[in-house]
Amino acid sequence: MIDIEEAKKLDRQDPLAKFRERFLNRDHEIYLDGNSLGKLPLAAIPVLEETISNQWGKQLIRSWNKNWLELPKRLSRKYCELLNADEGELVFGESTSVRIYQIIFALLESNIYPKKILTDALNFPTDLYVLHGLAKHFSIPDVQVIHYDQEIEANLDRLKDAIRKSPGIVCLSLVTYKSSYLYPIKELNHWAAAHKSIIIWDLSHAVGALEIDFKTTETLVALGCTYKYMNGGPGSPAFLYVHKKLQDNLQNPIQGWFGHQHPFAFETKYKAAKGLERFNNGTPPILSMQATETGIDLILEAGIKMLREKSVLQSEFLINLVKNELRPLNFELQSPEDILFRGSHLTLSHKAAWQICQALIKGDGDSPKIIPDYRPPHFIRLGIAPLYTRFEDLWRTVYQLKKIVISESYLNYSAQKENVT
Ligand SMILES: Cc1ncc(COP(=O)(O)O)c(C=O)c1O
């Protein structure tokens, strides 16, 4: 195995290394689960303290006008900057699941596209569940779920063929949660447009780790959660982007007062707000939104281009270690090898993945605790969050995986699984 000094040298050369200090890091712990829940930005602590003690504690209702009503709009503008959207093309709030429901409901009702729903087996379960519910509601015979021969990559010919034969509303995760497969977004948007279809992109595993440009990729609708690489905190709200040319034809199925033209006029009749503001529903979760802002601020400050460059370097570094050190120990790489088709996490499989993860988390005398992400039945995801992951962390993880398997120390752990993995 290469010397750890190689990894430390790369950390010293890393232009983004200083951002790590802006997060709460624990001694003797390596966190590789930023692709599920990002670390706590230190700046979120005083922001939340001020919000709770002063704005909520003392200013109470006055804080709505002074601080809070503007907050979702400010977050929207920051996400527009990150994703290259125009102001007014993005709203902030709700969960990704709610956003998928709202926008696909609106598209189905609008009749702009044929009433068909397509997705693929690589998509995240919540997307599939919501799509099935929508199909039932709109009496669409079924959601067409495209299956591939394996779970690592999409077969683009099969996907395109399905869209051509059955045009409609397609929902895909830009980076898939299992393997980190990255779809060619622009190529597929073109294909969809040429075949009377639209793709709804779920960016949950992509935003904050990849450069995404809605204009150059001609993206029409996208959404995603902000608690992974965006470091927005547990349950931080999602965003919804809709290209301005579509907005006037879409109505929010949830006619809540925050989507009304004049919410504080308390009119009895619903009048949808102009543009995408009508997709707001109820009172925004202010505590969560305040914390979330520190996450997007850090990403904008570091710059998404530099973050992607670092993530690419780190994932190549990790892949080389996996190939040389872990493949001989029966680990398999379950992510695309070509960086053009890969996001920012790497997935490994091993028949004892669950027990190996428990051994990693526990650590041992001279090794730190390492927090990976387990996915059933036998996958270990290693998330690279370029704001705080170090090359040294990746080296130590591979070193420890080797040690656990060679010594068979994983056999000391139960095969019984926990709830949140
Ligand atoms: C691709 C994808 N979509 C949606 C979600 C969940 O969305 P939410 O809990 O915000 O509804 C996740 C969560 O991990 C995800 O990975």
Please name the residue whose Cα sits nearest to atom 6 of ligand 1: 96
What is the position in ligand 1's atom list of the atom closest to the CA of 238? 10
Same domain? 290 vs 315: no
Q: Residue 419 falls within a domain, yes or no?
A: no
Give the total number of structural domains in the chain: 2
Between helix 4-13 and helix 391-407 the angle, nearest 10°, is 160
- Of the candidates 228, 310, 375, 390, the residue annotated as catalytic is 228
Q: Catalytic: 270?
A: no
Q: Which residue from 379, 370, 363, 376 is spatially nearest to 413, judged by alpha carbons? A: 363
Same domain? 408 vs 379: yes
Same domain? 27 vs 68: no
> Which domain-ending residue is among 273, 301, 329?
301
**Which pLDDT tens digit goes with each residue over 264-309?**
999 999 999 999 999 999 999 999 999 999 999 999 999 999 999 9
- Contact at 8 Å (CB) between 393 and 30? yes
- Contact at 8 Å (CB) between 80 and 214? no
Same domain? 114 vs 246: yes
Please name the residue whose Cα sits nearest to atom 8 of ligand 1: 96
Q: Give the structural domain span for 61.
A: 45-301
Q: Residue 25 falls within a domain, yes or no?
A: yes
**Which pLDDT tens digit goes with each residue over 81-138?**
999 999 999 999 999 999 999 999 999 999 999 999 999 999 999 999 999 999 999 9
- Bridging pattern class, strands 379-383 and 373-375: antiparallel
Mean of pLDDT over the chain: 97
Q: Catalytic: 124?
A: yes
Distance between Cα 127 and ligand 1 center (Å) = 8
pLDDT at 421: 55
Same domain? 96 vs 229: yes
**CB hemisphere CA count around 52 (13 angstroms):** 9
Distance between Cα 206 and ligand 1 center (Å) = 11
For residues 261 and 278, what is the distance between their CA atoms, to the nearest angstrom? 8
pLDDT at 415: 87
Mean pLDDT over 175-182 rounds to 97
CATH number of the domain where residue 365 is located: 3.90.1150.10
Mean pLDDT over 330-354 rounds to 97
Same domain? 272 vs 178: yes
- State the Cα angle at 223 between 219 and 229, rounded to 5°: 110
Q: Which of 36, 119, 120, 124 to mutate to test the pocket of ligand 1 (most atoms within 8 A of CB)?
A: 124
Same domain? 132 vs 16: no
Q: Which of 204, 239, 381 to mutate to test the pocket of ligand 1 (most atoms within 8 A of CB)?
A: 204
What is the token pair recorded at 416?
Answer: 């019984």
- State the Cα angle at 372 between 371 and 376, rounded to 5°: 135
Q: Catalytic: 227?
A: yes
Same domain? 247 vs 393: no
Cross-strand partners of 382:
346
What is the position in ligand 1's atom list of the atom closest to the CA of 99? 11
pLDDT over threshold 70, residue 30: yes
